[in-house]
Amino acid sequence: MAMRKLVVVAAVLIGLTQIDFAQKETPITLPLDDGQIRITAQFIRVNGYGSYVPELTLALENQTSSAWTTLKFLVDIGGLCNGEPRHWSLPVITSLGPSCLARFPRAWCQAEGHSFVKEYKDTSIPLIGKVDGCKAEIFKASLVLAENSKTRIDGVTGERVDLEKQLQELKAKHEAEVTAQAEEKRRAAEVKAEETRKAVEAQAKKDAADLKLFTDSIKLSAPRLPPHFMGNDIVQLFKAHEMIRTAQKSEYETSAQFKTRIGISETNFFNKTTLSLVVAVVSEYDADERVLKVGVECSDPHGISRRVSNSISVKSSRAGRVYEASNAFGAKANIQETDVESFHVGVNNASDFPITTAKYLMSSIKSGPDEARQIKIGLSGLVICAIARGDDITTDDSILSKATFDNPHEYFEQMHFLNARVLAIWFFDSSTGKVYAKVEPEK
């Protein structure tokens, strides 16, 4: 630090003047002896954590015929910190070896792998934490001392540049650019918003048309579903109806207002009376018959309250933990606890469908072995069902199996049912939307 201060003071005392200047990465040249030192400068680096590091990086090329054991110069830097002008002066002390270019052609130096450039890096400790949001824009270099075994050269004065004026002009230019960019972004945002609005309207019309087509073709021979078809979200449907079912009149709401509010919510909910829910399937290939047998399980969920007798599982989530338990005699055991939350379609019209003794709604797909293997990869089931205002739409039930010392596994499942009339079961490819088979009511 003492040496750096001494260099700065010495530069001022000898009337140090700019030799050359540049903006950003434009090379700076220091005339020296029978040639010059070519310098490319960068200041302030943003590291991987987003911190501004006051690091000066120089690329020095010796374009003189001599080596320099000592090379001292001052780098004056002009920049902007969050739009405000700043100035830094950083001393540099280094050395430069003889340049290959002083003795041989550039092509030969390149072919022999000689480096033309020496890299210099130095972090200004006093400036750490003081250059946040700053960007270096203007550089000038002033020679203080160059020395080798033959020559000692003091700094030579040069033209004086008004950095303050340049920085004010740069600030004005920067502010004008920021204003212009902001205006351009505003206009672009308006155009984008209008394009998005039109796209959303077009997509909404298309979705409405697709839904109408889907609804109208439930009992027809629809060739396919949209690719990657996901159907309705049973969790959102269940929660939306629960909010309607459990809604309470607020303190400042009249009975008529409450009735109107609930009526609007019900209208919005029952607006889509036909629902499509993607479900898991089972499949087995019969090589003798050359058919892929596919099915969806429709069985008794065995809830404690037995509120639903036939259901199709749609979605579930599982969590578990292990804890230590003991009985009255002090015996201890590690209990594996499993908690499940599941959502099902409660099938109101199960008797309308041909359900096997194994409790499956089955169909078959004619296919060879190779085709069957490919079908199995993306095979999914689709439950198409209908709900109506006035029906008991949602039901809750549960399953509880307590742990014992013989079977230290506790199981609890909270079951939610969306009760509906099933119109059809489709088996389709979840990627392409191709429909392979349909099961419809017998009655």
Q: Residues 412, 271: one domain?
A: yes
pLDDT in the model for residue 14: 34
For the chain, the residue count is 443
Distances (CA, A) of 14 to 20, 78, 322: 17, 22, 80
Q: How many helices (H) and strands (E) does the chain have?
A: 6, 19
The pLDDT confidence band at residue 33, using thresholds 50, 70 and 90, is: confident
Residues 145 and 259 in one domain: no
Statement to judge: residues 342 and 432 lie in one domain: yes
The average pLDDT across 313-331 equals 87
Q: 49 and 155 share a domain?
A: yes
The Cα–Cα gap between 283 and 292 comes to 7
Q: Which of 161, 176, 210 is the last residue of a domain?
A: 161
The kind and range of the H/E element at 409 are strand 409-429
Which of 353, 365, 236, 340 is closest to 298 using CA atoms? 353
Query: What pLDDT, on a 0 to 100 scale, did the predictor assign at position 211?
Result: 54
231 and 137 together in one domain:
no
Kindly report whether the global pTM for this prediction surpasses the value 0.75: no
Cβ neighbourhood burial of 172 (10 Å; 0-12, 13-18, 19+)? exposed
Q: Are 423 and 346 in contact (CB under 8 A)?
A: no
Does 241 lie in the same domain as 129? no
160 pLDDT more than 70:
no
pLDDT band at 20 (very low <50, low <70, confident <90, very high): very low
Q: Are residues 285 and 433 in the same domain?
A: yes
| Tokens at 33, concatenated | 């002896």
Report if residue 237 sits inside a domain: yes
One domain for residues 355 and 233: yes
Domains contained in the chain, number:
2
Bridge partners of residue 104, in order along the sequence: none
Distance separating alpha carbons of residues 7 and 144, to the nearest angstrom = 8
pLDDT mean over 193-216: 76
Asked whether residue 155 falls in the same domain as residue 274, the answer is no
| Residue 92 lies in domain | 2-161
The last residue of one of the domains, among 161, 185, 209, is: 161
Q: Which residues contact 52 (CB under 8 A, 6 or more apart)?
A: 44, 45, 46, 131, 132, 133, 134
Of 267 and 261, the structure prediction assigns the larger pLDDT to 261
* Boundary (domain end) residue, out of 129, 161, 193: 161
359: how many CB neighbours lie within 10 A of its CB? 14
DSSP H or E segment with residue 80? strand 68-81
Q: Between residues 1 and 306, which one has the greater pLDDT?
A: 306
pLDDT confidence tier of residue 159, bands split at 50, 70 and 90: very low
Residue 214 lies in a domain: no
Task: Identify whether residues 156 and 278 lie together within a single domain.
Answer: no
Q: Does residue 296 form part of some domain?
A: yes
Residue 201 counted as domain residue: no
In a shared domain, residues 111 and 260: no
How many whole angstroms separate alpha carbon 347 and alpha carbon 236? 19
Same structural domain, 154 and 246: no
Asked if residue 213 is part of any domain, the answer here is no
Within a domain: 171: no
DSSP state of 65: S
In a domain, 211, yes or no: no
Degrees to nearest 5, angle at CA 140 with 135 and 145: 130
Pairing of strands 435-439, 409-429: antiparallel
CATH of the domain at 112: 2.60.40
Residue 219 in domain: no
One-letter identity of residue 19? I
At residue 188, does pLDDT exceed 90?
Answer: yes
| Closest alpha carbon to 89 in 51, 145, 136 | 136
Per-residue model confidence (pLDDT) at position 29: 83
